[in-house]
Amino acid sequence: MAMVTTNESLQERKKRSRRVLGKLRKTYGEVSCALHHQDALQLLVATILSAQSTDKNVNKITPALFEEYKTAEDYANAERSVLEQRIHSTGFFRQKCKFIQGACRIIVEHYGGQVPETMDDLVRLPGVARKTANVVLGTWFGHNEGIVVDTHVGRLAWRMALTWRSKDSKGAVKIETDLMELLPRKDWAYFAHAMIHHGRLVCLARKPKCEQCALAKWCPSAGMFESS
């Protein structure tokens, strides 16, 4: 798909993005993170496992995983080959195991076994970049320090001309910056969760269902765009 642009001013794009936000709330209600979890550690582990996998695949294995490993110390002291076997189906299991154990050792040694609550501390953990940190901060701790930009959010923001940045991983931080400029801080976590939900149900990667899309009139890619 060719790059989509509009002639909007920043204020017009802000206005449109907030209409999109309102419609997402009306359409989907209070959606939240699709990864099943009951505490910050579970969410951190699940988010690391979700890289290059799907939330559905991760949710299949985490009930047994979380039953066996309840604390950061449990993961840090786990037999590596056993933990790798437990997470094998999520893909890249050796690297993910290394990240999880490395992160949990730091959590035990430097944070008293508790997942830290700041962006600076989280991104120091192995396997944790801004996206993962934003998931944990926004979903569990309620700290809106940024906006989660995964493949869905990046794709939708690009199609809707809320950004003109590259959709690849290198452009994720720039896309995040653009979206943060457009949306109220209090809505950052919700916006990401709702956009991910919409991307899975309607704005599909290969063939978006524009005719069924509640956001179509605010999306230049849908052919029904109503400029503000």
How far apart (Å, rounded) are the C-alpha atoms in residues 54 and 213? 23
Alpha-helix runs per DSSP H in 29-54: 40-49
Matching residue, tokens 């449109």: 16
Residue 4 carries which side chain, given as an amino acid letter? V
Q: What pTM was computed for the model?
A: 0.90
pLDDT value of residue 224: 62
pLDDT at 171: 80
Q: Give, in words, the CATH class of 40-141.
A: mainly alpha
| Other Cβ atoms closer than 10 A to 193 | 22
* H or E element, residue 103: helix 93-111
For the record, the structure tokens of 10 come out as 């920043």
Q: What is residue 55's predicted lDDT score, i.e. its pLDDT?
A: 95
Q: What per-residue confidence (pLDDT) applies to 222? A: 85
Stretch(es) of the chain classified as CATH 1.10.1670.10: 10-32+147-222
What is the location of CATH 1.10.340.30 in the chain?
A: 40-141
Supply the DSSP string of 125-160, one letter for each residue.
STT--HHHHHHHIIIII---SS----HHHHHHHHHT
Q: Which CATH number fits domain 10-32+147-222: 3.30.1950.10, 3.40.50.450, 2.40.50.140, 1.10.1670.10?
A: 1.10.1670.10
Q: What is the pLDDT of residue 20?
A: 97
| CA–CA distance, 122 with 67 (Å, rounded to integer) | 24
For the chain, 228 residues long, the average pLDDT of each consecutive 10-residue run is 76 96 96 96 98 95 98 98 98 98 98 98 97 97 95 94 73 92 97 96 95 94 67
